[in-house]
Amino acid sequence: MTQGVPKVIIHGGAGSSVGHQERLLTLREDMHSIVGQVYSKAETGASARDCVVLGCQLMEDSPHFNAGYGSVLQSDGQVRMSAGLMDGDAQRFSGIINVSRVRHPIDLAAYLQPAADRVLSDLGAAELAREMGIVPFDPVTDVRLKEWMRERANNFQSAMAGVVAETVEIPADPESRRGTIGVVVLDAEGRLAVGTSTGGKGLERLGRVSDSATPAGNYANAFAAVSCTGIGEDILDECLAARIVVRVTDGLDILAALEKSFREATAHGRDFGAIALSRQGQIAWGKTSDVLIAAYHTGDGVGDTLELDLGTLTGVVQPL
């Protein structure tokens, strides 16, 4: 890579493309805007960790994604969100699990970075939000509420909610897309960081924990950083983010590490995607699902994964 040139990649979900191509394409402008804002911050010399927090905040603010404002509702009609943050330079992980009534779950994870106790669940998360002086915020959108009401009227036949919010009021295909939002940054000093935030899969059993606030879904060190999206239980079963990072740390090229990990995942019938950066500035991703909603900034310009041939395992490594 060119010395001092930051790199950024973000994701907003993964799943099936059937019947949703036009709606997926409408997300491109939103994704490009966010990745551009994160890159602009990185260009000023901001740390990878601070850039990741900004990117997660921006995606948590968008009602189009299943994180922060726009999160799916659980089976009891409540929103509970989780987020993880890992500073690869310090190799320090922090997370928040099933927090309610906050605008930016990533802010709580960031606050915990220097703490001795760095992963908190619902009661601890609520107390932390009060300690931080966070103004209570209702993240429920009309679209998500109507989605939940449709499911309730149908006796909750669906296993999960639609992850990317419908832009018009039509019945959603709950199996169409599932995942989280994630941001991975390599800063101008060569430091890596990753953040992941989610509202869960929707309609789930109370107390269910997603992968986002675990090293399975969100992991970084000095060599690589990975954020995952898709079926959380599948990501946990593969310990996907940590597996990929460890393989890069042990000397495997990042695309080779992704390809090996996704071959294994395909054999196991998994359903997810992942985005990654190496310390050399390689941008890479993989998926077992039809589509991965992601965008990236190489330093020369912005691209995304929505133009790829769907239904195949796909990854890219940008030139050094």
Catalytically active residues, by annotation: 180
Amino acid making up residue 183: V
Q: How far is CA 121 from CA 30, 68, 152, 182, in A?
A: 31, 16, 27, 20
Dihedral pair phi/psi, residue 277, rounded to 5° = -135, 145
Burial of 320 (0-12, 13-18, 19+ CB in 10 A): exposed
248: closest CA among 215, 271, 226, 217? 226
Convert 255-291 to b/e letters by CB count within 10 Å (16 or more is b). bebbbebbeebeeeebbbbbbbbbbbbbbbbbbbbbb
Q: What angle do CA 86, 8, 23 make, to 5 degrees?
A: 105
Strands 302-304 and 92-99: unpaired
Is 251 strand, coil or helix?
Answer: coil
Amino acid making up residue 47: S
108: closest CA among 89, 88, 131, 92? 131
From CA 38, how far away is CA 36, in angstroms rounded?
A: 5
Strands 224-230 and 92-99: unpaired
164 neighbors 293 (Cβ within 8 angstroms): yes
